[in-house]
């Protein structure tokens, strides 16, 4: 299989879905002439024209609303936010319009729309541009929240999201765009709501998604040097959760660590831990621990920023605690 970047995998997904279905279009700031803030839409304006690759003003509330309306009448918009931090300005359209329209119409009106863009911290972008909002969107009935970690999953999940008949919050790790991996050519769909075991293990389960997948894989390598076999489970989607995959893995290892980039309080991992301890409490040989970002606005100082982020070393320390090896 070809090895391409996460960015190019997303580009492939958009190109293939737009070629397959003329109702799919992309709208957002700088998606056309500039070819995307992160170059995800490179070459699409030339191929599909300005009616389907639509540059917008800096008006998140406005173009998100246009997208919701277009979806309600049968089109399949992909709305790109330059960053999910800016999507706060469109939150009324995402939460009060897109998420609720099917319910409020008694199932008569669907909203097949994908809201996508970079999420989480990059490097020294400070408090207002380094936030993780997946827990907030996952809290809302009617929204699906997708967070791919690899180029192959980025392509397969975006294609599935575009074909889905419900509104999708599609969050791309801001530090993942240059990550390379094998990506199948042509038709490649990854089902929404299905986790994947990225590494098999016996002693502890490391649960993760998006940027923390690579960190958990690194942590598993470090643990292996100390004789610990860690299983790494990539959730891939936050809502719906693949509860069967989570419980199967933890029932096998009897210990778990949940790693997430966002804040600790009411984070997405809190739901995962609740599901584990509610459904298979008797399988646990230790409490489930969470490794999260620090409960502070992200510092600009690079040393403080590093201290606030999740790291493989922090995951290893948590794994040792649940194994009573510390």
For the annotated catalytic residues, the residue numbers are 60, 129
Instruction: Decide: residue 209, CB within 10 A, 0-12 exposed, 13-18 middle, 19+ buried.
Output: buried
78 Cβ contact list (under 8 Å, min separation 6): 14, 24, 25, 26, 27, 113, 114, 116, 162
Axis-axis angle for helices 243-253, 268-279 (nearest 10): 60
SS (H, E, C) the chain: CCEEEHHHHHHHHHHHHHHHCCCEEEEECCCCCCCCCCCCCCCHHHHHCCCCEEECCCCHHHHHHHHHHHHHCCCEEEEECCCCCHHHHHHHHHHHHHCCHHHHCCCCCCCCCEEEEEECCCCCCCHHHCCCCHHHHHCCCCCEEECCCCHHHHHHHHHHHHHCCCCEEEEEECCCCCCEEECCCCCCCCCCCCCEEEECCCCEEEEECCHHHHHHHHHHHHHHCCCCCEEEEECCEEECCCHHHHHHHHHHHCCEEEECCCCCCCCHHHHHHHHHHHHCHHHCCCCCEEECCCCCCCCCCHHHHHHHCCCHHHHHHHHHHHCCCC
């Amino acid at each position: 299989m070809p090895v391409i970047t996460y960015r190019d995998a997303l580009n492939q997904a958009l190109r293939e879905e737009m070629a397959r279905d003329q109702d799919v279009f992309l709208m957002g700031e700088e998606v056309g002439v500039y070819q995307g803030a992160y170059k995800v839409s490179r070459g699409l304006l030339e191929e599909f024209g300005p009616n389907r690759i639509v540059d917008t003003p800096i008006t998140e509330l406005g173009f998100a609303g246009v997208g919701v309306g277009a979806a309600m009448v049968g089109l399949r918009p992909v709305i790109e936010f330059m960053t999910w931090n800016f999507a706060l300005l469109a939150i009324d359209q995402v939460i009060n319009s897109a998420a609720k329209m099917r319910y409020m119409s008694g199932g008569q009106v669907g909203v097949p729309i994908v809201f996508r863009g970079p999420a989480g911290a990059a490097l020294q972008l400070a408090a207002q541009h380094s936030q993780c909002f997946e827990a907030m969107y996952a809290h809302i009935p009617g929204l699906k929240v997708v967070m791919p970690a690899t180029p192959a999953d980025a392509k397969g999940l975006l294609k599935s999201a575009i074909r889905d008949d419900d509104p999708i919050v599609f969050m791309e790790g801001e530090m993942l765009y240059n990550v390379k991996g094998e990506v199948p050519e042509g038709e490649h769909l990854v089902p929404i709501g299905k986790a994947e075991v990225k590494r098999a293990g016996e002693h502890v389960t490391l649960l993760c998604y998006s940027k923390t997948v690579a960190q958990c894989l690194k942590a598993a390598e470090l643990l292996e040097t100390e004789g610990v076999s860690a299983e790494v489970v990539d959730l891939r989607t936050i809502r719906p959760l693949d509860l069967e995959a989570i419980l199967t893995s933890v029932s096998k290892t009897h210990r778990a660590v949940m790693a997430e980039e966002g804040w600790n309080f009411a984070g997405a991992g809190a739901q995962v831990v609740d599901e584990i301890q509610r459904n298979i409490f008797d399988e646990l040989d230790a409490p489930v621990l969470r490794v999260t970002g620090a409960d502070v606005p992200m510092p600009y100082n690079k040393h403080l920023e590093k201290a606030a982020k999740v790291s493989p070393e922090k995951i290893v320390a948590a794994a040792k605690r649940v194994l009573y090896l510390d």
